[in-house]
Structure 1
Amino acid sequence: MEYNHYLQSILTSLIIFSIALLTGCAKPVSAFYPPDPNRTDNKTVYIVNHGLHTGIVLSKKDADPYMHSFDDFKSARYLEIGWGDENYYQTEKNTLWMGIRALFWPTDSVLHVAALQTDPVAYFSNSEVVQLKLSKTGFIRLVEFIDNSFALDEKKQIIKLGSGLYGTSRFYHAEGTFHLFNNCNTWSAGAIHSSGFPISTFYVFTAGNIMYQLKQDEQ
């Protein structure tokens, strides 16, 4: 009985500690978010739900000063960026084994960058898109998070891979190892969280969860 009581106390403490962590990580950073509606330098980013994963769309003009130069996309109005498993993300016809391997074996990662010339909501008219308003500081922090996700060669240049999935797009080597607890959606959540937005990164496994958290803040 005494052992059971001791075990229950430990479990209760762990639950309380976990809730505290989740609550703490879901709080906005007041200096960055929410943005002051009276300021004229606020920025808008777009989060796109592609079903299994999410993409983050930025104004290229706004992001350029804080991100490595993309010679492939000089004329782009927007850049959509996503992060994922190196093999699964770059393969058009995925297999069940590839999905299992990506989730349960730590694997290398890539970034997918696509150039958009039209408004992201119109371009992804068949997908769920949420607009996120950020302060300039929050926007810069988000862009820097994304920029730091690109792996660099010995000359400090981004490492280009093959063509991307749609339109004018390309894959690049990325920092970080992909697995179940560090997947494409936890990466997106980390980028969003860096802006000061109150999104929890502890239980984000699906694109749907990211969209749910974004919409909760709108209410």
Structure 2
Amino acid sequence: MAHNYYQQSILTSLIVLSIALLTGCTKSISEFYPPDPGRADNKTVYIVNHGLHTGIALSKKDAAPYIYSFDDFKSARYLEIGWGDEIYYQTDPNTLWMAIRALFWPTDSVLHVAALNTDPIKYFNDNKVVPLKLSKTGFIRLVEYIDNSFTLDEKKQIIKLGNGLYGTSRFYRAEGKFHLFNNCNTWSARAIRSSGFPINTCCIFTADDLIYQLKRRDE
């Protein structure tokens, strides 16, 4: 559809600049990464490329001790979490105006949490998912970053919104304002960075920017 073409064009136009900035500016940032390959308590998270935006999928069992908001999905094996503009993320179909508004005006944000009962690589298709192995400490820090992204009400409870986009899923009120320089892929990059992975968060505009850095690290 036409509006999808324009949305893709707006984001794609940033790729040349962002890739130029991405090269040569990532270093290991802490003792959390890379994980010791001999450790039995290493954890794996999965970065999901949805085309325009990215999500982070992880084992519910592994994450549950460090994040209370997953209680809504008691039977799930994995959970995939994404962050984005409140209106654009929750609306289908989207419009060009929604895309422009989200990119160029600071707007409220939401988190999308989806329950998965199968391996994320199988659920989303292998070529859309990048596995990332983390130390246990790095994993906990990433989960805590996600947990801190939920807005709480006066009773310290998460704020539930509408149903999600696919499967068993839901939207929640989130912390932070969405705009071009603080977008869904920036949020994913910062979550990954919190684990100790050497990713440059200041130059992330598109999902391709993020995936490029993850795959480049493996080369």
One fold, TM greater than 0.5? yes
Matched residue SS, 1:153? coil
8 Å CA contact 1:145–1:194 kept in 2: the answer is yes
Aligned to 2:196: 196
Q: State the identity %.
A: 79
Which aligned pairs between 1:1-219 and structure 2 lie closer than 5 A? 26-125=26-125, 128-219=128-219
In structure 2, distance between residues paired with 1:104 and 1:146: 24
SS at match of 2:200: coil
Secondary structure of the corresponding residue to residue 161 of structure 2 = strand
CA distance in structure 2 between the partners assigned to 1:53 and 1:127 by the alignment: 15
Q: Distance in 1 between matches of 2:25 and 2:73?
A: 35
For residues 83 and 153 of structure 1, what CA distance do their matches in structure 2 show? 18
Would you say the 8 A contact 1:34–1:197 is kept in 2? Answer: yes
Could you say what the CA RMSD is over the residues aligned between the two structures, in angstroms?
1.6
Structure 2 unaligned regions, length at least 5 = 1-20
TM-score (norm 1): 0.88
Partner of 1:11: none
Q: Assess if the C-alpha contact under 8 Å between 2:69 and 2:147 holds in 1.
A: no
- In the superposition, relative to structure 1, how do residues 127 and 83 fare at CA in structure 2: closer, same or farther (>3 Å)? farther
Cα offset for 1:69?
3.6
Distance 1:142 1:47 in 2: 12
Q: Deviations over 1:182-218 (max 9, x none)?
A: 0000000000000000110011000001101000111
SS at match of 1:70: helix
What is the Cα deviation at residue 70 of structure 1?
Answer: 2.7
**Unaligned ranges ≥5, structure 1:** 1-20
129-138 vs 24-33, greater mean Cα deviation? 24-33
Query: Per-residue deviation at 1:34?
Result: 0.2
Alpha-carbon distance change, 126 to 215 in structure 1, aligned in 2, over 3 angstroms: closer
Compute the displacement of 1:90 (Å). 0.1
**Who wins on radius of gyration, i.e. which is larger?**
1
